Amino acid sequence: MSEAVTWTRDKALALFSLPFNDLIFQAQAVHRRHFDPNRVQVSTLLSIKTGGCPENCAYCPQSAHFDTGVENERLMPLEEVLDAARAAKAAGATRFCMGAAWRGPNDRDLDAVEAMIAGVGEIGLETCATLGLLEAGQAERLRAAGLDFYNHNIDTSEAYYGEIITTRSFADRLDTLAKVREAGIAVCCGGILGMGETRKDRADMLVALATLPEPPESVPINRLVAVAGTPLANAPELDPLEFVRTIAVARIMMPRSMVRLSAGRLEMDDATQALCFLAGANSIFHGERLLTTPNPAVPEDRGLFDRLGIEPMEAAGPAGG
Ligand code: SAM
Ligand code: DTB
Ligand code: SF4
């Protein structure tokens, strides 16, 4: 499949329907045209403002709408953020992603986040933030503070979106993504699999990502972490091979993007993760915690990389996603 393809649902579904081996072979061939197949980029997450979020995303342990045991905390002090960033760098991360459980930041929040971005940049890490919806002028402020990436996910297909979130629309999300792009910040945008969506929804989500005015530099593909107390606590488990297929289709449709094997690795065995790398995933979240839920321990990930002959990627810079 050439890179000039205009992606549609039918074309995406045709990829999903390929025999597994043919799909993975094609995805790996595309991957090798653009990336070293044995290098994986490593990012570390930190929740700088946890819990009490006014939005009602059905998957999220931090929504104030659900009783999940996650407390509403205050914004973390700068020095604690910088300590965490130094520890992440020492453990091998090249990018530090700061997440806040906000609908969006207010201007006073942004003053504090700007100082965090500048400080993390000085430590020598790429900076990423995920703060929710942005108002006019806020993306420019983040860029001026030195922000390299902004994460804002579409989460699922436009058709299924209303089953998952009603407090903000799919169009609101696209509007924030456009503001981020316009401000010259690299875009990190993906979604979650295993929320009860169909394959058609997964195909539509990937088409929406691949047909943005420019595809995102980073595409996080999360597997739902089903958290007790959320409406999706008992969502039916997604077949791991369907998860791998989705990674492969993302790789083929967005050949130059970093595809991140994101939340859900703790619930995946090593063989499934290896298949994800074979299918073209080339980034992970590293460190024992995602935002509020656990992630594999650093020595375990080192062991997995060693067994697979994978080396962590050097900082690629925003152009490299
Ligand atoms: N509040 C901001 C927002 O929603 O844009 C930033 C933080 S939010 C937690 C970032 C992303 O994490 C969500 O868009 C979603 O894709 C992902 N996420 C949250 N909870 C998850 C879960 N239980 N399983 C998998 N991914 C999850
Ligand atoms: C993304 O797509 N996944 C990350 C990051 N972007 C911010 C977050 C995953 C969160 C999983 C649930 C939790 O730990 O609270
Ligand atoms: Fe809030 Fe983000 Fe969680 Fe939605 S995903 S409830 S916006 S923290």
Q: State pLDDT tens for residues 111-166.
A: 999 999 999 999 999 999 999 999 999 999 999 999 999 999 999 999 999 999 99
Is 101's C-beta closer than 6 angstroms to any atom of ligand 3? yes
The reported pLDDT for the residue numbered 314 is 78
- Tell me the pLDDT tens digit for each residue of 215-231: 999 999 999 999 999 99
Q: Give the mean model confidence (pLDDT) for residues 256-269.
A: 96
pLDDT confidence tier of residue 14, bands split at 50, 70 and 90: very high
pLDDT confidence tier of residue 92, bands split at 50, 70 and 90: confident
Could you confirm whether 53 is annotated as catalytic? yes
Token pair listed for 157: 């297909």
Rounded CA separation 223/267 (Å): 9
Atom of ligand 2 nearest to the CA of 153: 2
% of the chain surpassing 90 pLDDT: 95
Q: Which of 128, 181, 251, 265 is catalytic?
A: 128
Is 205's C-beta closer than 6 angstroms to any atom of ligand 3? no
Q: Which of 95, 168, 223, 260 is catalytic?
A: 260
pLDDT confidence tier of residue 3, bands split at 50, 70 and 90: low
The reported pLDDT for the residue numbered 234 is 96
Q: How many CA atoms lie within 13 A of 249 on its CB side?
A: 31
Is 151's C-beta closer than 6 angstroms to any atom of ligand 3? no
pLDDT confidence tier of residue 319, bands split at 50, 70 and 90: very low
Question: Largest Cα–Cα distance in the chain?
Answer: 53
Q: Which of 141, 168, 181, 188 is catalytic?
A: 188
pLDDT confidence tier of residue 45, bands split at 50, 70 and 90: very high
pLDDT confidence tier of residue 320, bands split at 50, 70 and 90: very low
Atom of ligand 1 nearest to the CA of 130: 6
With H, G, I as helix, E, B as strand and everything else as coil, classify residue 219. Answer: strand
The reported pLDDT for the residue numbered 315 is 67
pLDDT confidence tier of residue 4, bands split at 50, 70 and 90: confident
With H, G, I as helix, E, B as strand and everything else as coil, classify residue 95. Answer: strand
Q: Give the mean model confidence (pLDDT) for residues 87-91.
A: 92
Atom of ligand 1 nearest to the CA of 263: 25
Closest ligand relative to 53 C-alpha: 3
Task: Give me ligand 2 centre to Cα 19, in Å.
Answer: 31
Could you confirm whether 189 is annotated as catalytic? no
- Give the pocket of ligand 2 (CB within 6 Å): 45, 61, 97, 99, 130, 151, 153, 190, 220, 222, 225, 262-263, 290-293
Whether the pLDDT of residue 245 is over 90: the answer is yes
Cα Rg of the chain, angstroms: 18
Whether the pLDDT of residue 1 is over 80: the answer is no
CB 268 within 8 A of CB 225: no
Buried b (16+ CB within 10 A) or exposed e, 190-219: bbbbbbbbeeebbbbbbbbbbebeebbbbb
Could you confirm whether 276 is annotated as catalytic? no
Whether the pLDDT of residue 2 is over 70: the answer is no
Q: Which of 57, 181, 189, 276 is catalytic?
A: 57
Average pLDDT score, the chain: 95
Q: Give the mean model confidence (pLDDT) for residues 49-53.
A: 97
Task: Give me ligand 2 centre to Cα 195, in Å.
Answer: 14
Q: Give the mean model confidence (pLDDT) for residues 85-108.
A: 94
Q: Give the mean model confidence (pLDDT) for residues 194-217.
A: 98
Atom of ligand 3 nearest to the CA of 130: 2
